[in-house]
Each structure stands twice: as C-alpha cells, then as structure tokens.
Amino acid sequence: MKMADLLRTPLYDLHVAHGAKMVEFAGYDMPVQYPLGVMKEHLHTRSAAGLFDVSHMGQVILKPKSGEVSDAALALESLVPVSILALAEGRQRYALFTNDEGGVLDDLMVANRGDHLFLVVNASMKHDDIAHMEREIGDRCEVVPVTDRALLAIQGPSAEAVLSSLVSQAAAMKFMDVAVLNWGDVELWVSRSGYTGEDGYEISVPNASAVSFAEALLKQVGVEPIGLGARDSLRLEAGMCLYGSDIDTTTTPVEAALEWAVQKVRRTGGAREGGFPGANRILEELENGASRRRVGILPDGRAPMRAGTEIFDGDTHVGTVTSGGFGPTVEGPISMAYVAAECAEIGTKLDGEVRGKRQPVTVAELPFRAPQYKR
C-alpha cells in the first residue's frame, strides 16, 4: 500500500510535529518512533508515563435489541469462550473470538457500560470482527462501529497522576474498571488498562477534541509520546500476544496459554458450558492439555531470536519463535515461541537456530516482567 493511500488518525499532524518516523501499520500511517528512540521510549514508559495513539484500533458498541444488556452478553457469549454475563457494570474483560476449529479469530476487550457493551478490537481485524458479529448475532444486537472517536493510552507509573491532574475521578479507578468521565465539556470513555504491563488508562475521546486532549497530556511533567516500536517491546516483556504473530486462526486459547481467560462457568461442567465456536476442541484441551504451548524463551548471549527462529531439542524440531527482540527493562534478548508440550516446562534447555547455527535457549516463565497494575 502506498503511503498516500494510508488512513490517518486524528493525531497524525501532532505525530509529525513531534518528529515521529511514520510507517504503515494495519492500513494506517502510524508513528513507529520519535526522536527519543525506541529504547528510551520503552524505558521512559516503565519509569514515568508514555502517551500512545491507538486510534487505529476498532471501537464497537453492541446494543441489545431487547433493551437488556444481559441479552447482548449472552449473544456475545455465543462467539467467545468467556463469561460476559457475569461482567459487572463498569468493568472490562479480555475475550477471544474463536472459530469452529478452536482457533482465534481475534482478541478483544469487552466492557459493560450499563445498557450496552463496548468492545475494542484489533486494527487489522476490525472490519472482519464487525462483519462476524453482524452475521452471527445481528438478529439480537445492533453492531455499531464507533468512527467519530480517537483512542489514546497513557501508560506507566505516573499515568494516574498525569490523567487525574486533568480528570480527578480517574485516580479512584482500579485495574479493568471503565467509566465515563468529563474533561471540561468533553466526554471521555476511560478504562484502566493497557498493553504494556504498566498501570495506565485507555481513553476514547471525540475526534474533534483528540489533539487538544493529547496536547494537554503531553504538557504534564514526565509524559513523552511513544511509538509502535516501544509498544511492541513493552508488550513482549509483559508476555502479551500480538494478533497475527502469537495468536491466529491456527492457535487455540489453550495452546496460547490464555486459558485463564476462560471462566469455569464456560468450561466442562459449568452452568453455561460450551456454546461457542470450537468448543469441543477447546474444552478437551482445557481438560487434557494441548500438544504445544506458548512459552517464554531466554536466549543465551545478547543476540535476539526473532519471529521465525526454529527451536530444537537435540536434532528434533520442537517449535518456532513467534515474537522476539531485545527487552530493554530485562536487559537482554527475549522471545515467545510455541514448543511441543513435553518441552514447555520452565527451565527446559533447548536450541534456537540463527543463520544456520544452533544457540542455547531456556524456557522461561511469562511474563518476563511482573505487571504493575493497580488492583
């Protein structure tokens, strides 16, 4: 796709004004880094606060045609192996769209906002996700894409102080809380969550106010704009999956080590057991395990093992790296890989093949850095 054909978020001019290097991502012209550089942007987010433009993500309202939000929850449960019905008003939950083979169509966040559900889906999959919901549950729910709002994320240990200086009520929120807060006469849809492993918030703001709100955040002490490069290294240290790399239609939630997202009520013996695409395979794997597993990988030495690196146990090929790079906070190379279940135990010694040479690696616990959420 030519740069001239790319979509732009409402913050495009602000990125350029701050010296961002722009690249194509999911059909958008997005900042990959600023003059600070990826390494310093990463470390700044871990020590202070980073501002991310995630307006390319899909925002969707799911309205129950019956007027009862529980009906929207039950409709969505027919597409995800997650308990949406138990999601309290003002709370958010991680979910997964699955297909009939048990693979992952996309991962998403779902919030209960009283009379409707609010979803945030991946940029690369948002049109497919919307079509999927319209096709499968459109008879029970109105699927409303939100196209007039930007999405920002403020992440890091100073995030609470930064946002609450503009919107005081933000300080009272806990991890995975959602709320509608006002910045002057601007309505903000706020969740206390993010994609870095740090405390922080994601904020949906009307397009017309996106630049002024971003500028107000950037004026606060300790806030820097952060690009996609650092966003990727931050989420990798946090052990979080990137759709299309670490999870896709060929990976099940259990293989991906995401079974924590499947509540007991949706599992075998639960009150709402199954009833989602791929339930037979997913429920069987929840009971008996999968043949492979997403794990952390720590290479020996300083050279990163990136996506596509093949993993071996002696002469036997046992897996493949799906994400890898240098972890600035952990000060070394880190990767995530799918390996055969018998090789997935923490501490297992394997080898990765880089440019035809085998290099020792150790299976490691995820995440590589403990999360800093405000519970």
pLDDT at 12: 98
Q: Where in the sequence of the chain do the CATH 2.40.30.110 domains occur?
A: 291-364
Q: In this structure, are residues 189 and 180 in contact, taking their beta carbons and an 8 Å threshold?
A: yes
The C-alpha atoms of residue 312 and residue 207 are separated, in whole angstroms, by 49
Q: In this structure, are residues 235 and 242 in contact, taking their beta carbons and an 8 Å threshold?
A: yes
Protein fold of 291-364? Elongation Factor Tu (Ef-tu); domain 3 (2.40.30)
Mean pLDDT of residues grouped by 10 in the chain (375 residues)? 84 98 98 98 98 98 98 98 98 98 98 98 98 98 98 98 98 98 98 98 98 98 98 98 98 98 98 98 98 98 95 98 98 98 98 96 98 94
The C-alpha atoms of residue 91 and residue 110 are separated, in whole angstroms, by 9
pLDDT at 200: 98
- Whole-model pTM: value is 0.97
Q: Where in the sequence of the chain do the CATH 3.30.1360.120 domains occur?
A: 3-57+148-237
pLDDT at 1: 57
CATH class of 3-57+148-237: alpha beta
The C-alpha atoms of residue 173 and residue 98 are separated, in whole angstroms, by 31
Query: Number of C-alpha atoms within 13 angstroms, CB side, residue 63?
Result: 7
